[in-house]
């Protein structure tokens, strides 16, 4: 999962892009990058690390120009190489910079065709680089005359025909403007906004509406599945449907975990979705344990707070903050390597003993993925004196790989895979475990938008909305993206002096956008 932003402004956009990336930092903490167009000169800065560490004052001063794009990266393949930091750039045609959120599921096929058929050179194994070169090739096919909007939209059509998977893309074409588009299923989020500036209009495109809020932009609308937006340098906006919608199925895990609660995605409030998740979870608790002995509901900070509060209110029991979070530790779910995730939990959370002592505690989390965090948190609750520890997940069991840009690629690393709920409960050490039902989760999220009838729920259901996800494909990504494979690649990178220059053989497996 990554965060992307693009701005066509009337004044320098470097600070605005920086501020947007700060707001989108929760979507990726591995690397950050900004590229701007200063009257035809490419200005860029990207590196590993958090936004505030990557960009110093000298870098910001060098990022001149009234148009630019930015990216924060979370690597689905677990690499930490600055060579994979986005945006990516290719100089032909025009000079194109591109950042993307999601994952292509036919990267290997694309890479082979790009090299053999399109005669394009690839430096990495990143699906973002493949996507960029597909777009560049399709744009070059439109001719070398003046770049008209129809040529851009024809190029996007070519991308949709060749690329499979879930993706939201923002690209900057040097000297011309910014283009953004979304996969035909609408899996990954992307939203358009505008604001008045001295009588002129500035436009922004970003992964989440919070970036618009932070910069004072008004929401225009979400980019539709298969749609493309082209904003010229003078602010003229063009849009066109470049592929038939193959559905309108946003990723439901955005609402469960990834997105900020103050975001609105596809006209659905993330905050209200999580409230309704809590309400339906409380209803299930009452159905299964009508005479429950819960004394207090405690959330696992931060993304479960809204659901936990709703659970407590619906059950009529106390809600308490029982864990204090160290805000200088990253999100454990997206940390590469099981051992690193394990070590980070106790550095990240500390229990307030008096909220646990001699009480029957219901801990509420947004989801249970590998089980490592849940197991340690339950241990902390017992050490703090809890008499019983119940555990509730605001989402269903995560049993299947996610192939559209979330790091859930290896079934055997998912605690619920091939385990019953009772077995998961025993594994994490809970006295009782309750999961949200998938039907209730879907109903909780789509409440605000009747246009959306379904979601990508593949990590819960094993059903992939794009189709074409074969057993062989899942086996290949399991080999490439297991914790062991990530650790081996990281060790090899360090042995080679920290670089990662070697294309397919030394780069990560397909799909790190």
The CB-side HSE value for 385 (13 A sphere, CA atoms) comes to 10
Question: How deeply is 337 buried, as exposed, middle or buried, from its count of CB atoms within 10 A (0-12, 13-18, 19+)?
Answer: middle
Q: At what angle do helices 107-116 and 127-140 cross, to 10 degrees?
A: 50
pLDDT reported for residue 404: 94
Rg (CA), the chain: 23
Q: How far apart are CA 90 and CA 96, in angstroms?
A: 5
Task: Give pLDDT, residue 503.
Answer: 33
Largest pairwise CA distance in the chain:
76
Q: Are 368 and 398 in contact (CB under 8 A)?
A: yes
CB neighbourhood size of 158 (10 A): 18
HSE at residue 164, side-chain half, CA atoms within 13 A, is: 16
pLDDT band, very low/low/confident/very high, at 302 (cuts 50, 70, 90): confident
Confidence of residue 408 (pLDDT cuts 50, 70, 90): confident
Burial 119-133 (b: 16+ CB within 10 A, else e): ebebebbbbbbbbbb
pLDDT tens-digit map of 137-153? 999 999 767 899 999 99
Give the tens place of pLDDT for each residue, 165-216. Answer: 999 999 999 999 999 999 999 999 999 999 998 889 999 999 999 999 999 9
Phi (first) and psi of residue 292, to 5 degrees? -60, 155
Rounded CA-CA distance 165/427 in Å is 33
Reply yes or no on whether the pLDDT at 78 is more than 90: no
Structure tokens at 243: 């592929």
Cβ-based neighbour number of residue 488 at 10 Å: 11
Q: What is the pLDDT of residue 477?
A: 82
Give mean pLDDT, residues 16-24: 98
Question: pLDDT exceeding 90 applies to what percent of the chain?
Answer: 78
Q: What is the mean pLDDT of residues 281-295?
A: 97
Give the integer Cα–Cα distance in Å for 35 and 433.
47
- Contact between residue 35 and residue 97 where contact means Cβ atoms under 8 Å apart: yes
pLDDT at 344: 63
State the CB neighbour count (10 A cutoff) for residue 221: 13
Q: Are 233 and 67 in contact (CB under 8 A)?
A: yes
**Averaged over 442-463, what is the pLDDT?**
92
Summarize the confidence of residues 279-303 as an average pLDDT. 96
Residues with catalytic roles: 2
Can you give the pLDDT at residue 501? 34
Question: Per-residue DSSP letters for 81-115?
Answer: -GGG-S-EEE-SSS-EEEEEEEEES-HHHHHHHHH
pLDDT in tens, 472-503: 999 888 876 666 666 665 666 566 655 443 33
Which of 115-124, 426-435, 462-471, 499-508 is predicted most confidently? 426-435
How many whole angstroms separate alpha carbon 35 and alpha carbon 20?
14
Name the strand (E) or helix (H) holding 345.
helix 338-348
- Which residues 6+ apart lie within 8 Å of 286 measured at CB? 292, 315
The Cβ of residue 347 has, within 10 Å, a number of other Cβ atoms equal to: 11
Among the residue ranges 81-90, 102-111, 199-208, 487-496, the one predicted with the least confidence is: 487-496
- Of 29, 37, 43, whose CA–CA distance to 71 is shortest? 29
What does the alpha-carbon distance between residue 232 and residue 238 come to, in Å, rounded to a whole number?
Answer: 8
284-to-65, 79, 436, 442 alpha-carbon distances in Å: 54, 40, 8, 15
Give 328's pLDDT tier (boundaries 50, 70, 90).
Answer: confident
Q: What is the pLDDT of residues 346-397, one digit of tens each?
A: 788 999 999 999 999 999 999 999 999 999 999 999 999 999 999 999 999 9
The helix/strand/coil state of 138 is helix
């Amino acid at each position: 999962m990554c965060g992307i932003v693009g701005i066509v402004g009337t004044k320098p956009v470097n600070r605005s892009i920086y501020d947007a990336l700060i707001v989108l930092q929760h979507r990726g903490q591995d690397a950050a990058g900004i590229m701007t167009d200063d009257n035809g000169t490419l200005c860029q800065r990207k590196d590993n690390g958090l936004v505030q560490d990557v960009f110093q004052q000298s870098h910001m001063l060098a990022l001149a120009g009234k148009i630019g794009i930015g990216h924060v990266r979370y690597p689905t393949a677990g690499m930490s190489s600055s060579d994979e930091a986005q945006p990516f750039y290719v100089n032909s045609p025009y000079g194109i910079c591109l950042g993307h959120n999601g994952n292509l599921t036919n990267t290997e096929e694309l890479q082979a065709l790009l090299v053999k058929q399109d005669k394009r050179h690839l430096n990495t194994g990143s699906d973002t680089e493949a996507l960029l070169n597909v777009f560049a090739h399709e744009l070059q096919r439109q001719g070398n005359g003046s770049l008209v909007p129809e040529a851009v939209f024809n190029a996007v059509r070519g991308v949709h025909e060749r690329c499979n998977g879930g993706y939201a893309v923002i690209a900057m074409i040097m000297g011309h403007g910014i283009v953004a588009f979304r996969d035909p299923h609408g899996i990954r989020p992307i939203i358009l906004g505008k604001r008045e500036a001295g009588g002129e209009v500035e436009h922004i495109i970003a992964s989440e509406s919070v970036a618009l809020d932070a910069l004072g932009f008004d929401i225009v609308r979400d980019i539709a599945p298969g749609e493309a937006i082209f904003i010229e340098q003078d602010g003229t906006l063009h849009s066109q449907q470049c592929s038939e919608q193959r559905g309108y199925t946003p990723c439901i895990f955005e609402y469960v975990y990834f997105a900020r609660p103050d975001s609105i995605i596809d006209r659905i409030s993330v905050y209200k979705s999580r409230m309704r998740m809590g309400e339906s979870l409380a209803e299930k608790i009452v159905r299964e344990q009508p005479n429950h002995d819960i004394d207090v509901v405690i959330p696992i900070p931060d993304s479960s707070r809204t659901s936990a509060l709703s659970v407590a209110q619906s059950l009529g029991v106390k809600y308490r903050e029982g864990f204090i979070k160290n805000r200088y530790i990253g999100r454990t779910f997206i940390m590469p390597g099981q051992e690193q995730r394990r070590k980070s939990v106790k550095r990240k959370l500390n229990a307030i003993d008096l909220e646990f002592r001699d009480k029957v505690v219901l801990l509420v989390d947004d989801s249970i993925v590998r089980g490592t965090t849940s197991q340690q948190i339950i241990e902390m609750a017992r050490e703090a004196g809890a008499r019983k520890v119940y555990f509730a997940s605001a989402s269903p069991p995560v049993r299947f790989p996610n192939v559209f840009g979330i790091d859930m690629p290896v079934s055997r690393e998912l605690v619920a895979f091939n385990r019953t709920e009772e077995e998961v409960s025993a594994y994490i050490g809970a006295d009782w475990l309750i999961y949200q039902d998938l039907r209730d989760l879907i109903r909780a999220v789509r409440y605000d938008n009747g246009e959306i009838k379904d979601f990508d729920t593949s990590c819960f259901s094993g059903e992939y909305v794009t189709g074409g996800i074969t057993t062989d494909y899942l086996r290949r990504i399991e080999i490439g993206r297991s914790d062991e494979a990530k650790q081996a690649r990281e060790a090899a990178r360090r042995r080679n002096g920290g670089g990662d220059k070697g294309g397919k053989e030394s780069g990560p497996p397909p799909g790190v956008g």
